[in-house]
Structure 1
Amino acid sequence: MFKIFDLSLQINGFPMKEAKAELQKIQSIPEQQFEIFIENKKQEIVDYHLKNNASYQKIVGKTTFNNWKDLPIMTKKDFQKPLGERLSSGFTLKNVYVNKTSGSSGDPFIFAKDKFSHALTWATIINRFGWYGIDFNTSYQARFYGIPLDFIGYKKERFKDFLSNRYRFPIFDLSDKILEGFLKDFQTRKFDYINGYTSSIVLFAKFLQQKNIILAAICPSLKVCVVTSEMLFEDDKILLEKQFGIPVVNEYGASELDLIAFQSRSFGTHGEWQVNSETLFVEILDDENNVLPYGNEGRVVITSLFNKAHPFIRYDIGDIGILDSKSTAKKPVLQRLVGRTNDIAILPSGKKSPGLTFYYVTKSIIEDDGNVKEFVIKQTKIDTFDIEYVSKTELNLEQIQKIEAAITLYLEKGLVFTFIRKEKLERSKSGKLKQFVSLLK
């Protein structure tokens, strides 16, 4: 069969055949030798960036290192300068994969991956979805994601949907009338799986619950639902499995890194959250940056073992988690993740929008010059929002008008926004910023 998804990645310069072969090679390393593989890859990637990346040399303060634990912890602050200044020698904006983080933690930035590293990311994703019989070339996806609403961005995303064999349900408006339309699509289309933002999919399940409908009964081709980007609570998982009638899989990832953890099928419906040890090295640290033993709660710090274009070495992702005590070097298990939740915004028209909608709104203030360092959005009344931000310079009238136009486009007219520049933003006990907070009762 013609593999349009694989071909589209190959055409874009991502060496998928080589990446899949490399992943297979890594997965074939025996457990007893895997720790040596990890140690070698850690040494290799740090040596590479200390030799080839001026930005990382400056962060470390020297060009050699002796002890892994002495390497500095990188944070999103380290990346809030023009991308060109952060690339390794030999890499330019034209020969790397470039993207923006969602800013869900309130610290947006633009990042890069070399083409092979990004191909490995896709190889890993393809491998994990394959655990559930999903083939991106042939399986039809019901996609619960946002979409750019500007003409070019919209058309580009729809074309990517076509190449990826997926049908997108935009999640900016999740009122009952819109969800009724979603339901009709499930009645007429032979979807193989659902993938998307947790909060949006949960809202759809609650809608089905009100109507006393089991989704698999009207769309029997469905095999699995994979939720991502936000915390999946146990009661929500139970609701999803009941209303969809299919297994629900929890995915944890970060666009700047890779797929971080994916629920393993071999352990049943409520299986273990298997950490990606093939392309990442995950540590759990305390407040003093000491590595915690398995079973202890701490900061999730991740090293990208293959990205040569841009260093992510001992990078504090902004989450709190626990690696299970039965973890091994080859098969670390994420016992629990704390955070990554998003509130729902309820608007004057009755429209409900997940907090991640604000990712598309705030993209308009994310610029490569690193001016806006952090931001949070607080809903103080049903029609009133505060945007609190930290920046080098105050947002000017043109920028504010651009943001307000985006808000009208993505949400609705008549919303009142106040822009408040601050020296620093209030954080939760875990040290994480929540991008969107609803203060409505």
Structure 2
Amino acid sequence: MNLFNLSLLLNGFPIKKAKSTLKRIHGKNEADFEAYILQKKKNIFNYHIQNNTFYQNIAKNATVTDWKSIPVMTKRHFQHPLSQRLSKDYTTENVYINKTSGSSGDPFVFAKDKFCHALTWSVIQNRFGWFGLDFNTSKQARFYGIPLDKKGYYKERLKDTLSNRHRFSVFDLSDAAFEKCLKKFKNTPFDYINGYTSAIVQFAKYLEKKNIVLKQVCPTLKACVVTSEMLFEMDKKLLEKQLDVPVVNEYGASELDLIAFQNPEDLWQVNSETLFVEILDQQDNILPNGEEGRIVITSLYNKAHPFIRYDIGDIGVLSKKSTLQKPILEKLIGRTNDIAILPSGKKAAGLTFYYITKSIIEDDGNVKEFIIEQHTAETFKVIYVSATAISEENKENIKIQMENYLEKGLTIIFEKQDKIERSKSGKLKQFRSLLN
């Protein structure tokens, strides 16, 4: 038994059973898979209706034979003590417990039964295997945050050791810190990079400035997996150029599972083995593939805690080429709470502002990081870190492009700072509205 799997087993997570279950799922043909999904949806709904008082109160008028009658759950439903939300025979002592990051504005504690959690890791290991990576043997360069309290810090460091990874802090993205990172890459046979998109992009910018290709420094490197933050196409090209390995985009949620993972054909393949993903409009109607809407997910295996038709708070599009067995996430637009409301009443995804601004700022060459804030309906602030101030010409170009893409009459303020504060987890929220 390898170290990572052994650590799961010792903590009560039946990883062998989970891997065997996943193998059986993968062995199903298309017709059998459709029957499997229908049965799993029915099973998980009936289980919680029969064994979970919390869910009984939410779905008292629903029937599994009419999937549309099952109410959509949101994070607001979970603003109750965890003990009140657990199913019969599950307690806080015999489940896996964690909490969401709170990036949506509605953080909460959640639970998974131990088999469900083991299955989550089985899916993750399967996806990394697409790129020749093994959690038990592949060495990981990890760009993540880390708790600063003593207990949390050493707990994460122990997990890093058990998981065969070295952690680089995302709280210091200075050239001096990246110089130390580069030295570690020169002396360590890393197999892959994994971590927050923004931090890895900053490292790539440092490499570009130094005219260094990381694969030449660390020849064992096979892939880079980015997660937790949006990956823009121009950033992906930068990473591919400076790292010289495949750049894999991961999309997941701690309370659910791995949701989508870029496959070797460069398609964002949705996890259909343990999740059922729907795209809904604002009236909870199911949208056909190809149309943009709210991402709503059912966890097919979590018996400890219901996540049935759960609105994760993101907006996306499933490709028209999707099948039930192999859904493809064509586009992830952003979070529903990252919507900008303009003076005319028009709504726009907040990342639209970030994307427009980014395309111009990147040409400037000296801006390291920036975020966009909405202060009033017509006022937006661009907070940025750079060696020198953005030129007046580029500021004017940004204002013109925002009016072209959105509407006229917007006020754009620019504020240069020495450092952009990240969340406690180390994530960078690229757009935030201060209206509410």
CA distance in structure 1 between the partners assigned to 2:216 and 2:433 by the alignment:
35
1:336 corresponds to: 331
Q: Structure 1's 72 and 119: CA in aligned 2 closer, same or farther, altered over 3 A?
A: same
Give the aligned residue type for 1:338.
I
CA distance in structure 2 between the partners assigned to 1:331 and 1:47 by the alignment:
26
For the 8 Å contact 1:57–1:63, the answer to whether it is kept is no
Give the aligned residue type for 1:52.
N
2:271 corresponds to: 276
CA distance in structure 2 between the partners assigned to 1:247 and 1:381 by the alignment:
31
Give the aligned residue type for 2:105.
G
1:144 corresponds to: 143
For the 8 Å contact 2:15–2:122, the answer to whether it is kept is yes
Give the aligned residue type for 1:233.
F
What are the equivalent positions in structure 2 for 1:116-127 lying under 5 Å apart?
Answer: 116-127=115-126
1:19 corresponds to: 18
CA distance in structure 1 between the partners assigned to 2:118 and 2:53 by the alignment:
25
For the 8 Å contact 2:63–2:70, the answer to whether it is kept is no
Q: Structure 1's 63 and 289: CA in aligned 2 closer, same or farther, altered over 3 A?
A: closer
CA distance in structure 2 between the partners assigned to 1:317 and 1:77 by the alignment:
11
Deviation of residue 339 (structure 1)?
Answer: 1.3
Pairing 1:297–2:296 present: no
Give the aligned residue type for 1:330.
Q
- Cα distance per residue 1:385-407 (max 9 Å; x no partner): xxxxxxxxxxxxxxxxxxxxxxx
What are the equivalent positions in structure 2 for 1:256-267 lying under 5 Å apart?
Answer: 256-265=255-264, 267=265
2:320 corresponds to: 325
2:166 corresponds to: 167
What are the equivalent positions in structure 2 for 1:172-251 lying under 5 Å apart?
Answer: 172-251=171-250
1:307 corresponds to: 302
Identity %: 63
Pairing 1:49–2:48 present: yes
What are the equivalent positions in structure 2 for 1:45-124 lying under 5 Å apart?
Answer: 45-62=44-61, 64-124=63-123
Moved beyond 3 Å, runs of 4+: 62-66, 340-343, 351-355, 378-383, 434-439
CA distance in structure 1 between the partners assigned to 2:208 and 2:244 by the alignment:
12
Q: Structure 1's 64 and 299: CA in aligned 2 closer, same or farther, altered over 3 A?
A: closer
- Cα distance per residue 1:225-254 (max 9 Å; x no partner): 000011111111000000001000011100
CA distance in structure 2 between the partners assigned to 1:187 and 1:235 by the alignment:
26
3-state SS of paired residue (2:230): coil
Q: Structure 1's 382 and 237: CA in aligned 2 closer, same or farther, altered over 3 A?
A: closer
Deviation of residue 61 (structure 1)?
Answer: 2.2
Root-mean-square deviation over aligned CA pairs: 2.5
For the 8 Å contact 1:222–1:246, the answer to whether it is kept is yes
Deviation of residue 352 (structure 1)?
Answer: 7.9
- Cα distance per residue 1:315-349 (max 9 Å; x no partner): 00111111111111100011111116998xxxxxx
For the 8 Å contact 1:323–1:334, the answer to whether it is kept is yes
- Cα distance per residue 1:107-143 (max 9 Å; x no partner): 2111000000000000000000011110111100000
CA distance in structure 2 between the partners assigned to 1:242 and 1:254 by the alignment:
29
Q: Structure 1's 93 and 379: CA in aligned 2 closer, same or farther, altered over 3 A?
A: farther
CA distance in structure 1 between the partners assigned to 2:262 and 2:45 by the alignment:
30
CA distance in structure 2 between the partners assigned to 1:87 and 1:59 by the alignment:
14
Deviation of residue 379 (structure 1)?
Answer: 8.7
Point out where structure 2 has 5 or more consecutive residues left out of the alignment: 336-349, 355-366, 372-379, 386-417, 422-428
Structure with the bigger RCO (C-alpha within 8 Å, sep 6+) is 1
- Paired residue total: 359
Q: Structure 1's 221 and 17: CA in aligned 2 closer, same or farther, altered over 3 A?
A: same
3-state SS of paired residue (2:97): strand
CA distance in structure 2 between the partners assigned to 1:435 and 1:83 by the alignment:
31
Point out where structure 1 has 5 or more consecutive residues left out of the alignment: 344-350, 356-377, 384-411, 416-433
CA distance in structure 2 between the partners assigned to 1:138 and 1:296 by the alignment:
41
